[in-house]
Amino acid sequence: MLNLTGKTAAVLGAGRSGRAAARLAEHCGARVTIYDSRQAEETVLANPEIGLEVNADLVVVSPGIETNGDFVQSFAKGSGALWGEIELAWRCYSGKTIGITGTNGKTTTTELVRDLVEATGESCVACGNYGVPLSEVVLYDSPPDVISLELSSFQLETIIDFNPDVIIWLNFSPDHMDRYSSIDEYREAKLRIFDNIDTDTPVVVRRGSQVPERGTITTFSTEGEADWSLSGEDILCHGEAFVSISETKLRGLHNAENLMAACAAVEGLTSEVARDALSKYSPPEHRCELVAVIDGVEYLNDSKATNLHALESALRSQTRPAILIAGGKQKGLDYGPLAPLLSEKARAMISFGEIGEELSSVFAKIVQCRKVETLEEAVTMAAVIAERGETILFSPGTSSFDQFNGYEERGRAFKAALPQLTENSVNHS
């Protein structure tokens, strides 16, 4: 355990990660003060002016706070080291770390790694940007043998010596442009996961990814040759069938790649053990979640798709003809670039909500379009249109706040409409 006896620590941010970091720093012997720009219990209400007056041995910043902003930098000027919560917690953890980053698919992969590691007989906790802060895990009475650690770019900005035992790099695409001045800056933050690795560190990457040539690289891809590849619904390891995605609740090419990456990262995993563990796995709610198969038609809940990029990813991953249900709040987005992909992947689209009319107008010449007012109407109409062997994909492509209080409520509403379909005995023969 890290020794901070006699040191002072300023923890910035009073959220769950910040409070967990404060408890851990105190456990290590430090005298801790939590600072936040908003009033919170047991914290000091602070601003950049107050930060300039602080001279701490260690400043620990929560991932939600901009590292290069005036608030953080004011504390850093008169203080010692500047770490993120991940750096602090990792220095206190003695087990094996599997670090997972990428723009999309991190949460699913993090869960898969956890389940697969546990299937091999070791204890594992999924944590970091997903679920529980790492600082909480370190303070468990019995910390796990392995951590499946989801890492955002925000968390990787503030690493110093962090050196995972295994790295998974899933993919990269533009995101968080409200935080970064350029795509390159965002990419550089993510690439920091490679900064301290050893020459023999296992690195699992999507084939074609532009990452440093460090560590021992294993590739995966659903497109072309790779160490882990796809043939039909079979995931192959060096050309040999390992698992079948059809035997899981996962759907879509993107989830096939998440599955490949997770399998590749787990030491000692056999096909038999993987098949058993994956048959029991349920993917995260509202992320291309298979919620029902009714008369040969799959119903996927992708309510988490609150922007155009997420909708594109969900569509691109479909291997069956799709009936797309999309719509929600008007955010002023340009959906025109979606047309070629929609033409390729979808047989029809049903739009609803505030943006329903615009979506129907934009794509009427591309695919069969129907416009309705509510999500419930959209589900019922999709059931009438869909044929056996097709997928009804609920991937809204915008936020939910025209009719719902969030994507979770919207996703639950989609699922709530399905039992009525069964009662009505919709027939797709």
Q: Which two tokens stand for residue 3?
A: 């020794």
pLDDT, residue 420, reads 64
List all residues 6 or more positions away from 55 whose beta carbon is below 8 Å from its beta carbon. 8, 78, 79
For residues 229 and 122, membership in a common domain is answered with yes
User: Is residue 36 one of the residues assigned to a domain?
Assistant: yes
The reported pLDDT for the residue numbered 408 is 94
Q: Are residues 256 and 336 in the same domain?
A: no
Instruction: Indicate if 81 and 156 belong to the same structural domain.
Output: no
> Per-residue pLDDT tens for 3-12?
999 999 999 9
Quick one: which of 99, 30, 88 has its CA closest to 62? 88
pLDDT of residue 134: 98
Mean pLDDT, the chain, rounded, equals 92
pLDDT of 218 over the 50 cut: yes
On whether both 147 and 220 belong to a single domain, the answer is yes
Do both 99 and 69 map to the same domain? no
pLDDT in tens, 315-332: 988 889 999 999 999 878
Q: Is the pTM of this model over 0.85?
A: no
Average pLDDT over residues 401-408: 92
**In terms of domains, do 274 and 212 share one?**
yes
Distance of alpha carbon 30 from alpha carbon 176, whole angstroms: 34
Q: Which long-range contacts (CB under 8 A, 24 or more apart) does 289-295 make?
A: 289/249, 289/411, 290/249, 290/250, 290/251, 291/414, 291/415, 291/418, 292/415, 292/418, 294/383, 294/418, 294/421, 294/422, 294/426, 294/428, 295/388, 295/426, 295/427, 295/428, 295/429
The answer to whether residues 322 and 215 belong to one domain is no
> Do residues 27 and 55 share a domain?
yes
For residue 426, being part of any structural domain is answered with no
The mean-pLDDT minimum among 80-94, 147-161, 316-330, 412-426 falls in 412-426
Decide if 3 is inside a domain: no
> What's the pLDDT band for 419 if we cut at 50, 70, 90?
low
Neighbouring CB atoms inside 10 A of 398's CB total 25
| Residue 429 scores a pLDDT above 50 | no
How does residue 298 score in pLDDT terms, banded at 50, 70 and 90? very high
Pick from 279, 302, 317: which residue ends a domain? 279
Mean pLDDT of 267-277: 97
In the chain, the number of structural domains is 3
Residue 1 lies in a domain: no
Domain that holds residue 247: 93-279
User: Has residue 425 been placed in a domain?
Assistant: no
User: Per-residue pLDDT tens for 358-378?
Assistant: 999 999 999 999 999 999 999
At 123-181, the pLDDT tens digits run 999 999 988 999 999 999 999 999 999 999 889 999 999 999 999 999 886 555 566 77
User: Which CATH number fits the domain that encloses residue 113?
Assistant: 3.40.1190.10
What CATH number does the domain containing 353 carry? 3.90.190.20
Cα–Cα distance measured from residue 151 to residue 134, given in angstroms and rounded to the nearest whole number: 11
Q: Are residues 42 and 115 in the same domain?
A: no
Q: Is residue 76 part of a domain?
A: yes
Alpha-carbon distance of 114 to 148, in angstroms, equals 6
In this predicted structure, what is the pLDDT of residue 428?
Answer: 39
Q: Is residue 303 domain-shared with residue 338, that is, in the same domain?
A: yes
Residue finishing a domain among 223, 255, 279:
279
Nearest to 129 by CA among 151, 158, 104, 110: 151
Structural domain contains residue 135: yes
Q: Are residues 12 and 102 in the same domain?
A: no
**Residue 196: inside a domain:** yes
Residues 55, 130, single domain; the answer is no
pLDDT at residue 422 in the model: 55
Q: What pLDDT sits at residue 178?
A: 62
Q: Which of 25, 57, 85 is the last residue of a domain?
A: 85
- Residue 415: which pLDDT band, with cuts at 50, 70 and 90? very high
What does the pLDDT look like over 30-54, one tens digit per residue?
999 999 988 888 899 999 999 999 9
